Amino acid sequence: MNKKPNLAFFTSAQSGLAHYTTHLFGPSKKYFKPYYVTYSDSLIDDLVERHIGRVESIIKKEDPASVLLTLKFLKDNKINFINFNVATTARKSYFHFVALLSKAQLMGVKVIATMHDVMPFESFYIDPAALELLYSCVDHYVVGNESEKNKLQLYFQVPKEKITIIEHGPYVLFDEKKYDKVSARKHLNIPQNKKVILFFGNLRPHKGLKYLIKSFNKVLKQVPDAWLYISSDLKYSPQLNDLLQRVEKSGVGNKIQIIKKYVPSYEIEPIFKAADVVVMPYTMVSQSGILNLAYAFKKPSVVTDIFPDASAIDRKFGRVAKAEDAESLTECLVDLLEENPKVLSVMGKAGYEYAMKQASWDKAAESLYDITKKLSR
């Protein structure tokens, strides 16, 4: 390839996939002429607006004519490659994407699918045959770790030479340097003298929040100035009532601050800067954007032993608790909260440096380019 190939990112307009693609988009310009293609019925995340520029909002999930419109876009812009980001939104629209991607392949466009989780965690049902059909419209697969690679090989018989591991980098674009810890806590109405535990992100059953609520009561007995800040898009969550009941029964609801709404990207900085420790008590995980935020904001974290990064994190950038074990979670949280703040700062910086070295966005863009070279032979 003598000139930069044209690559279209097919991705979401908001949340995790948008954040991932936005971080990759800038570094990809070294190797590609990139386009950001997303859903027409979604509001554009403010992080996307700040860093992408032109966004092509042309995918209409319920409109068959949108397939033809998108194919015309591919033809008019001489797109060589699609980087198809696969998560909940894409799976729910598998009929649409099977039609679109299969037609694109007939036009000579190569499809690279970035699998943000190979098997869905969500509660909605999707026919396994339909999932296999969707995944078959792909020329090469990108996953975040060895575990996800194994799932592709085991469940979908994808040969290993068609799979590349590209780890997610830290989400550094969220830090606009507008806040420090003091100003962040003032902005969020968090008491300045507390040791703040942060739980952040969409509430789903596998996020293990019930274990954290149970654990926090025990944490307070050993660390009386602990404070739990829960920021989650809870308004329409079926787990909301269960969560509120657990908080009420815990007896320590006055030390738990719950934000029940979608958080725009510009509010992420103060939330993470206000925290001392970020906790992810998950019972299932593929990779985690929240961990990448913790790395980016140089915050030590508590994760469960199912995380791919668990061995790297333990005793270096945070602590590792046993999954589905409130006692183990309590021990890890207390252990970190009782550390000297300078020690926590050193741990947070070490996590940041590890993430930047292990999984920089420049490396991710270069790896994506290597895949396109392979597919062009």
Tell me the pLDDT tens digit for each residue of 54-71: 999 999 988 889 999 999
Superfamily of domain 172-358: Glycogen Phosphorylase B; (3.40.50.2000)
CA angle 111, 286, 83 (to 5 degrees): 15
Q: For the chain, how far is it from start to end, CA to CA, in angstroms?
A: 10
For residue 273, give both structure tokens.
């800067």
pTM: 0.90
Region 348-368 average pLDDT: 93
Tell me the pLDDT tens digit for each residue of 229-284: 998 876 545 666 666 676 667 667 788 888 877 888 999 999 999 999 999 998 88
Region 150-160 average pLDDT: 92
Could you give the angle at which helices 128-136 and 94-106 cross, rounded to 10 degrees? 30
Domain spans in the chain, listed from the N-terminal domain onward: 6-169+359-375, 172-358
**Which strand (E) or helix (H) includes residue 273?**
helix 268-273
What's the pLDDT at 121?
61
Amino acid letter for position 335 = D
What's the pLDDT at 41?
84
Least confident of 281-285, 302-306, 360-364: 281-285
Closest to 233 measured CA to CA, from 271, 269, 203, 273: 203
172-358 shares the fold of 6-169+359-375: yes
CATH of 6-169+359-375, one of 3.30.2350.10, 3.40.309.10, 3.40.50.10190, 3.40.50.2000: 3.40.50.2000
Residues 276 and 263: their CA atoms lie apart, in Å, by 19
Region 337-362 average pLDDT: 92
Segment of 84-98, 178-192, 346-360 carrying the highest mean pLDDT: 178-192
